[in-house]
Amino acid sequence: MAFLDETAAVLGIDEKTATNTFIYLSPTHGVVIEGHKKIYELSTASITVLCHDGQRVKVEGENLEVKEISHREICIVGKVSSVEVK
């Protein structure tokens, strides 16, 4: 937790900051999106999710698939080439 707290502080994120979406990226393994609401687009080359804060997160790459999904988190595995937040 200390590392995440320090990293958040560097980015200017604290308990008072209104952010509901976090993205954890490993280009060779996949991406975890915390704060997703639903899947908007789904293919092996592109997955787009809608987030609770109204943003869309588009993940593009190769052999993409949803490995795990829970109430707030979605885990997408595959070789990631780009992540775009709209």
Q: For 10-61, how does the pLDDT look when each residue is reduced to its tens digit (9 = 90+)?
A: 877 776 565 678 899 998 899 999 989 999 999 999 999 999 888 999 999 9
pLDDT of residue 11: 77
Please state which CATH class domain 20-85 belongs to. Answer: mainly beta
pLDDT of residue 12: 77
Q: For 70-86, how does the pLDDT look when each residue is reduced to its tens digit (9 = 90+)?
A: 988 999 999 999 999 99
Kindly report the pTM of this predicted structure. Answer: 0.82
Q: Which of these, 50, 84, 80, 86, lies nearest to 65 by C-alpha position?
A: 80
pLDDT of residue 46: 98
What are the structure tokens assigned to 22, written together?
């976090």
Give the E-state strand segments of 1-86 in sequence order.
22-26, 30-34, 36-42, 46-51, 56-69, 73-85
CA distance 86 to 68: 23
pLDDT at residue 2 tops 70: no
pLDDT of residue 42: 98
CA distance 53 to 19: 7
Q: Domain locations in the chain?
A: 20-85
